[in-house]
Amino acid sequence: MQNIPSVNLADFISGDEIRKQKFINEIGKAYEEIGFVALKGHFLSENLVDNLYGEIKNFFSLPVETKRSYEIDGIGGQRGYISFGKESAKGKKEGDLKEFWHFGQYVEDNPALAAEYPDNVTVNELPKFNAVGKETYQMIEKTGVYVLRALALFLDLDEFYFDNYLKNGNSILRPIHYPPITEEPKNAVRAAAHGDINLITLLMGSHGKGLQVQNHAGEWIDAIAEPDELVINVGDMLARHSNNRLKSTIHRVVNPPKESWGTSRYSIPFFMHPVSEMPLNCLDNCVTSENPKGFEDITAGDFLTERLIELGLIKK
């Protein structure tokens, strides 16, 4: 496979059962085989995307001292600013060549969850930054709900199986800035090879070379989407829950060729998480004699904590 398949969410929500089933079959097959798709027909308008890119470029252009004033201690980097080189991939000591921001859930009608999650951080210098971030968060989350409805049907579950786990889920919108490279990196890349922790990741900004996914032959493939597409991949939580029927694919962001070192790269993933108490136990209908149960029972919250410790974002 030399590129990632493209699907259109408009088929799923068209009201036409044949088109809906076509989407379910296409996205399910893609996730069984490589774990990535490019998705058209999402709920993010071109104007909203343009506004968000404008705001995040403004933020990352602020002085370092100003940005660091939004780096909040004691919350494992779950909200606000995370400075350059602080995060590394599992098993890798070198920090990735990036800085980023985290928008988190806007909890509705659940005081216990509102108390559990850290508050979102307001950027005083940019009056539109937080409002644009919130609208983007909610539109991309809505897109993810429909994708998981399709995957529920593909797995022979009720269409709305994931809905209650996703409402007020612990999802993260992460605008990332990969700054210009000024000297030969010492064994570091913009994002080292890794799998994502969550159910699915919806990525804005994979319009040029950089993001690569690994196929089953171990080959690295450029994952390049059209400007109106999101790249969506399965994370470890969903791979685990489906007993690895849906694949969480290893991916990375490589450094650009030397002639392009002087340019920044921006990308904006949305890491879709359920509420903490969701059981990630292997689904009964994904366990067979040919595919025996491959994972211990665990909740989403406990699994997330394990992985954040491995990434160095939470100390034991």
Compute the distance between CA of residue 285 and CA of residue 157 in angstroms, rounded to an integer: 9
Nearest 10 degrees: Cα torsion 55, 61, 66, 67? 70
Residue whose token pair is 């994502």 = 196
Q: Across residues 58-63, what is the average pLDDT? A: 95
Compute the distance between CA of residue 55 and CA of residue 29 in angstroms, rounded to an integer: 37
Is 35:234 a contact under the CB 8 Å cutoff?
Answer: yes
Return the top range by mean pLDDT from 92-96, 188-192, 205-209, 222-226.
Answer: 222-226
- Cα angle 189, 191, 196 (rounded to 5 degrees) comes to 155
Give yes or no for residue 1 having a pLDDT over 50: no
| pLDDT confidence bin for 86, thresholds 50/70/90 | low
Mean pLDDT of the chain: 87
| pLDDT confidence bin for 275, thresholds 50/70/90 | very high
Of the candidate ranges 54-58, 60-64, 264-268, the one whose mean pLDDT is the lowest: 264-268
What pLDDT shows up at residue 307?
A: 85
What pLDDT shows up at residue 201?
A: 95
Q: Which of 109, 79, 75, 82 is nearest to 96 (CA)?
A: 82
**3-state secondary structure labels for all residues of 54-118:** HHHHHHHCCCHHHHHCCECCCCCCCCEEECCCCCCCCCCCCCCCCEEEEECCCCCCCHHHHHHCC
Compute the distance between CA of residue 193 and CA of residue 15 in angstroms, rounded to an integer: 39
Element counts in the chain: helices (H) and strands (E): 9, 13
Give yes or no for residue 314 having a pLDDT over 60: yes
Write the DSSP symbol of residue 249: -
**3-state secondary structure labels for all residues of 36-49:** EEEEECCCCCHHHH
What pLDDT shows up at residue 133?
A: 97
Tokens of 215: 């196929």
Give yes or no for residue 157 having a pLDDT over 80: yes
Q: Across residues 2-6, what is the average pLDDT? A: 74
Q: Across residues 199-222, what is the average pLDDT? A: 79
Parse the chain into domains and list their residue ranges.
Answer: 6-310
Angle, helices 46-60 vs 129-154, to 10°: value is 130
Tokens of 115: 């108390």
Compute the distance between CA of residue 235 and CA of residue 247 in angstroms, rounded to an integer: 8
What pLDDT shows up at residue 2?
A: 44
Percent of the chain predicted with pLDDT > 90: 63
| pLDDT confidence bin for 93, thresholds 50/70/90 | very low
What pLDDT shows up at residue 92?
A: 44
Q: Which CATH superfamily groups domain 6-310?
A: B-lactam Antibiotic, Isopenicillin N Synthase; Chain (2.60.120.330)
